[in-house]
Amino acid sequence: MQKPIILLSLTGLFLLSACSNESSQVETTKKEAAEAVAQKENHEIVVYSSRKEHLIKPFFEEFTAKTGISIKYITDKAGPLVTRLKAEAERTEADIFMTVDAGNLWLAKREGVLQPIGSATLETNIPEHLQDPENHWYGLTVRARTMVYDTNKIKPEDLSSYEDLADPKWKGRLCLRTSKKVYNQSLVAMLIARHGVAKAEEIVKGWVANLATDPFSNDTKVMKAIEAGQCEVGIVNSYYFGRLQKENPKIGLALYLPQSSAKGIHVNISGAGITKYADNVKDAQKLLEWLSSEAAQKMYAGLNMEYPANPNIEPVEQVEAWGELKADTMNLSKAGELQPQAVQLMDRAGYK
């Protein structure tokens, strides 16, 4: 009679022990999950950037110094980074995609690698035409696609607009960067948006007819060609001229801010968005908001001769001396949307 009682007692002990172990395991699992969430919320921000290291590192170091949040960054060209984000999908470590040119940001959105950002701070700091209409990306700096001219051969009153450079009076006097570069593709895309395909093609054909030499691989070479007397005027990004002017204040070139059919100067941006599968959305948004703030915008303006995207921040003295920037306020998403048509148009026009 005692054996069944003993067996029953032992069975009870086993059951109690099993329940206790199971309860302990549940508590451990909950604790581990809580720790994992906490760790995830406080880990570093990872940035995929097509901007060069020397242009982003000072900002990241300053942000880390102010917040204690560390930043890891990987640099490459925009296209490969978008391809990488697509391939990695939810396995990606990237929280932010940062690049130059609105067309590249538009492409990232189209390829589904960005997510919408709900930020009152970014909405306040960044004008509507410098952000994605659905808040997938925001501009952080502005560069104007300007004219540079030989001050010994041309007076500023001789210049007017991008369209005017197609006039036969400029035959043999114009230099351009290659059509293969995204900045010119975006400029032509915005001309299509303003004028339609037929008129934009007429303008580009006029440019090609007026070229003094084959297009150059970059804006600096365009300016060097003007300086050497190969041509008299060219189209370049404003900050390239700023760098050259800083190196040689006595350079015989000047910058002209063209008006496009009274709609304003064509501008482009560097900007960023939060990746679709970002782990650290909270801190990623905090970084973008800080980059749009007064402190970071002043850094941007000083380090690379760019215009602040935040209209409340003045450009540096050297940039301000070029004249008032009256920007075309058509939304820059058009630069990406119409870029394929722009590339085809330039090809038809013989723009190499």
CATH number of residue 168's parent domain: 3.40.190.10
The b-or-e profile of 232-253 (16+ CB within 10 A means b, else e) is bbbbbbbbbbbebbeeeeebeb
Classify 150 as helix, strand or coil: strand
Is the pLDDT assigned to residue 93 strictly greater than 70? yes
Is the pLDDT assigned to residue 9 strictly greater than 80? no
Closest CA to 286 of 37, 63, 36, 56: 63
* d(C-alpha 288, C-alpha 309), whole Å: 12
* d(C-alpha 181, C-alpha 69), whole Å: 35
Q: Is residue 250 part of a domain?
A: yes
Is the pLDDT assigned to residue 13 strictly greater than 80? no
Higher pLDDT, 346 or 258: 346
In the numeric block, which tokens belong to residue 99? 């690049």
* d(C-alpha 181, C-alpha 290), whole Å: 30
Reported as a single tens digit per residue, the pLDDT across 291-318 is 999 999 999 988 889 999 999 999 999 9
Q: Is residue 192 part of a domain?
A: yes
Q: Is residue 275 part of a domain?
A: no
In the numeric block, which tokens belong to residue 213? 């030499």
Per-residue model confidence (pLDDT) at position 4? 46
| Mean of pLDDT values over 252-262 | 81
Is the pLDDT assigned to residue 3 strictly greater than 90? no
Q: Contact at 8 Å (CB) between 78 and 103?
A: no
Per-residue model confidence (pLDDT) at position 26? 45
Per-residue model confidence (pLDDT) at position 261? 52
Closest CA to 144 of 294, 39, 268, 51: 268
Q: Say how many domains are in the chain.
A: 1
| Mean of pLDDT values over 261-285 | 92
Per-residue model confidence (pLDDT) at position 264? 85
Q: Is residue 38 part of a domain?
A: no
In the numeric block, which tokens belong to residue 187? 């400029």
- With bands split at pLDDT 50, 70 and 90, how would you rate the model's confidence at 255? very high
Q: Is residue 147 part of a domain?
A: yes
Higher pLDDT, 76 or 26: 76
Per-residue model confidence (pLDDT) at position 42? 54
Higher pLDDT, 72 or 27: 72
Closest CA to 296 of 306, 200, 36: 306
Per-residue model confidence (pLDDT) at position 17? 47
User: Which helix H or strand E contains 47, and what residues bound it?
Assistant: strand 45-49
Is the pLDDT assigned to residue 124 strictly greater than 90? yes
Q: Contact at 8 Å (CB) between 180 and 347?
A: no
Count of Cβ atoms closer than 10 Å to residue 107 Cβ = 18
Q: Is residue 136 part of a domain?
A: no
The b-or-e profile of 85-104 (16+ CB within 10 A means b, else e) is beeeeeebbbbbbbbbbbbb
Reported as a single tens digit per residue, the pLDDT across 145-181 is 999 999 999 999 999 999 999 999 999 999 999 999 9
- With bands split at pLDDT 50, 70 and 90, how would you rate the model's confidence at 259? low
| Mean of pLDDT values over 241-268 | 87
Is the pLDDT assigned to residue 41 strictly greater than 80? no
Is the pLDDT assigned to residue 97 strictly greater than 90? yes
Q: Contact at 8 Å (CB) between 159 and 210?
A: no
Q: Is residue 107 part of a domain?
A: no
Is the pLDDT assigned to residue 7 strictly greater than 90? no
* d(C-alpha 201, C-alpha 246), whole Å: 36
User: Which helix H or strand E contains 98, and what residues bound it?
Assistant: strand 96-100
Per-residue model confidence (pLDDT) at position 262? 56
Per-residue model confidence (pLDDT) at position 40? 46
- Chain-centroid distance of CA 99 in Å reads 4
- CA-based torsion, 59, 63, 65, 71: positive or negative: negative
Is the pLDDT assigned to residue 143 strictly greater than 80? yes
Per-residue model confidence (pLDDT) at position 31? 52
- With bands split at pLDDT 50, 70 and 90, how would you rate the model's confidence at 36? very low
Is the pLDDT assigned to residue 196 strictly greater than 80? yes
Is the pLDDT assigned to residue 108 strictly greater than 50? yes
* d(C-alpha 79, C-alpha 73), whole Å: 16
* d(C-alpha 319, C-alpha 302), whole Å: 9
Reported as a single tens digit per residue, the pLDDT across 320-333 is 999 989 999 999 99
| Mean of pLDDT values over 232-250 | 95
Per-residue model confidence (pLDDT) at position 10? 40
Give 273's contacts (C-beta < 8 A, 6+ positions apart).
Answer: 96, 97, 105, 108, 109, 114, 115, 117, 132, 136, 137, 138
Q: Is residue 181 part of a domain?
A: yes
Is the pLDDT assigned to residue 19 strictly greater than 60? no
Q: Tell me which residue range forms the domain holding 249.
A: 143-266+334-348
Give 114's contacts (C-beta < 8 A, 6+ positions apart).
Answer: 97, 108, 136, 137, 273, 274, 275, 276
Per-residue model confidence (pLDDT) at position 304? 85
Percent over 90 (pLDDT), the chain: 84
